[in-house]
Structure 1
Amino acid sequence: MNRLLPTNKALKQLSLSEKVGQLFMPAAFINDTEEEIQQLEKLISEHHVGGLCFFHSRASAATNFEGKKKIVVNENSFETLKNLIKRYQKAATYPLLISIDAEWGLAMRIENTPQYPYAITLGANKDNKDLVFKVGQNIAKDCKAAGIHWNLSPVVDVNVNPNNPVIGYRSFGDDKEQVITLAKAFVKGTQSEGILTSIKHFPGHGDTATDSHLGLPVIEKTKAELLETELYPFQKLIDEGVDSVMVGHLSVPVLTTSPEIPSSINKDIITDVLRHEMGFDGVVISDALNMHAVSKNYPMKGELEWLAFNAGNDVLCFAEHIEEGIQCILKNASEAQINKSIERIWKLKAKAISEVDSTLELTDPSALNKQIAERSITLHNGTAQGIEHFRTTNFCTLTLKRFTTDQTNQDIVKNVMAMRKEIENETEILLLLTPPQIKPTNNFGFLQEEIDFVNDLITTKKVVLYHFGNPYALQSFKTDKTTATVIAYQNFKEFQDVATAHFMGTLEAKGKLPVKLN
Structure 2
Amino acid sequence: MHYKKYILRAFALVLVLLADNSFAQKVSFIDAMQQQNHWVDSVFHKLSRRQRIGQLFFVRAHTNRGQAYSDSVGKVIKHEHVGGLVFFQGGPGRQAILTNEYQKLSRIPLLIAMDGEWGLGMRLDSTISYPYQMALGAVQDNNLIYKMGQMVAYDFKRIGAHINFAPDFDVNNNPNNPVINYRSFGDNKYNVARKGIAYFKGMQDAGLITIAKHFPGHGDTNVDSHFDLPLLPFTRERLDSLEMYPFHEAINAGISGVMIAHMNIPALDTTKNLPSTLSRPIITGILKDSLRFKGLVASDAMEMKGVTKYFPDGEADLHAFMAGLDLLELSENSKKAARLIRIAVRHKEIAPEEFEAKVKRILAAKYWAGLSNYTPANTDNVVQDLNRPEATQLVQQLSDAAITLIKGDSRLLKQDTTKKTAIISIGVTGQTVFQQELSKSYPNSMLFLVGKDTPVPALNKMLENLKQYEQVFVGIHDTRLRPQSKLDYSSDVKLLIADLAAKSNSVISVFANAYTIAGLPGIEKSGSILVAYQKDDAMQRAAVKAITGKIKPTGKLPVSVNTYFTTGAGASL
Q: TM-score, normalised by structure 2?
A: 0.80
**1:458 to 2:501 alignment:** yes
Aligned ranges 1:366-515 → 2 under 5 Å? 366-384=392-410, 387-389=413-415, 393-403=419-429, 413-414=453-454, 418-427=458-467, 428-437=471-480, 439=482, 443-459=486-502, 463-478=506-521, 479-515=523-559
Distance 1:245 1:8, change over 3 A: same
The one of 290, 307, 323 equivalent to 1:311 is 323
Q: Any idea what the Cα deviations from partners look like across 1:105-131, whole Å, max 9, x if unmatched?
A: 1000112101111111111123x2110
Aligned ranges 1:297-336 → 2 under 5 Å? 297-299=310-312, 301-333=313-345, 334=348, 335-336=352-353
- 2:364 corresponds in structure 1 to 347
TM-superposed CA distance for 1:225, in Å, is 1.4
TM-superposed CA distance for 1:259, in Å, is 4.7
CA RMSD, aligned part only? 2.4
CA contact (8 A) 1:144 1:356 kept: no
Which stretch of the first structure deviates more once superposed, 383-392 or 315-324?
383-392
Distance 1:217 1:456, change over 3 A: farther
Distance 1:251 1:459, change over 3 A: farther
Letter in 2 for 1:433: I
- 1:32 corresponds in structure 2 to 65
Distance in 1, matches of 2:201 and 2:458, equals 51
- 2:93 corresponds in structure 1 to 79
**1:153 to 2:166 alignment:** yes
> Runs of 5+ in structure 2 lacking a partner?
1-36, 431-450, 563-573
> Runs of 5+ in structure 1 lacking a partner?
57-73, 405-410
Which stretch of the first structure deviates more once superposed, 450-459 or 466-475?
450-459
Letter in 1 for 2:559: V
Distance in 2, matches of 1:476 and 1:512, equals 20
- 1:22 corresponds in structure 2 to 55
Secondary structure of 1:413's counterpart equals: coil
Distance in 1, matches of 2:457 and 2:53, equals 61
Distance in 2, matches of 1:5 and 1:44, equals 25
CA contact (8 A) 1:166 1:439 kept: no
- 2:113 corresponds in structure 1 to 99
Distance in 2, matches of 1:387 and 1:284, equals 49
Which stretch of the first structure deviates more once superposed, 476-485 or 149-158?
476-485
Distance 1:31 1:257, change over 3 A: same
- 1:134 corresponds in structure 2 to 147
Matched length: 489
Distance 1:260 1:487, change over 3 A: same
**1:178 to 2:164 alignment:** no
Secondary structure of 2:112's counterpart equals: strand
Distance in 2, matches of 1:90 and 1:222, equals 49
TM-superposed CA distance for 1:189, in Å, is 0.8
Q: Any idea what the Cα deviations from partners look like across 1:348-378, whole Å, max 9, x if unmatched?
A: 1110134245167214422112222222211
- 2:136 corresponds in structure 1 to 122
TM-superposed CA distance for 1:331, in Å, is 1.1
Distance in 1, matches of 2:194 and 2:484, equals 30
TM-superposed CA distance for 1:187, in Å, is 1.2
Secondary structure of 2:472's counterpart equals: strand
Distance in 1, matches of 2:484 and 2:393, equals 32
Distance 1:283 1:506, change over 3 A: closer
- 2:220 corresponds in structure 1 to 207
CA contact (8 A) 1:436 1:444 kept: no
Distance in 1, matches of 2:493 and 2:61, equals 38
Secondary structure of 1:443's counterpart equals: coil
CA contact (8 A) 2:315 2:337 kept: yes
Which stretch of the first structure deviates more once superposed, 507-516 or 445-454?
445-454
The one of 189, 213, 238 equivalent to 1:225 is 238
Distance 1:80 1:26, change over 3 A: same
Distance 1:426 1:255, change over 3 A: same
Q: Any idea what the Cα deviations from partners look like across 1:210-233, whole Å, max 9, x if unmatched?
A: 211122222222212111111111
Q: Any idea what the Cα deviations from partners look like across 1:145-201, whole Å, max 9, x if unmatched?
A: 111000111011111222222112111122222222211111111012211100110
- 2:43 corresponds in structure 1 to 10
CA contact (8 A) 1:257 1:268 kept: no
Letter in 2 for 1:219: L
Q: Any idea what the Cα deviations from partners look like across 1:296-352, whole Å, max 9, x if unmatched?
A: 2223x2211111111111111111201101111111233434312101111111101
Distance 1:436 1:81, change over 3 A: same
CA contact (8 A) 1:212 1:292 kept: yes
- 2:31 corresponds in structure 1 to none
Secondary structure of 1:113's counterpart equals: coil
Q: TM-score, normalised by structure 1?
A: 0.89
Q: Give the number of the structure whose alpha-carbon radius of gyration is greater.
A: 2
TM-superposed CA distance for 1:240, in Å, is 2.1
Distance in 1, matches of 2:148 and 2:550, equals 26
Q: Any idea what the Cα deviations from partners look like across 1:274-311, whole Å, max 9, x if unmatched?
A: 11111112211000111111122223x22111111111
Letter in 2 for 1:348: A
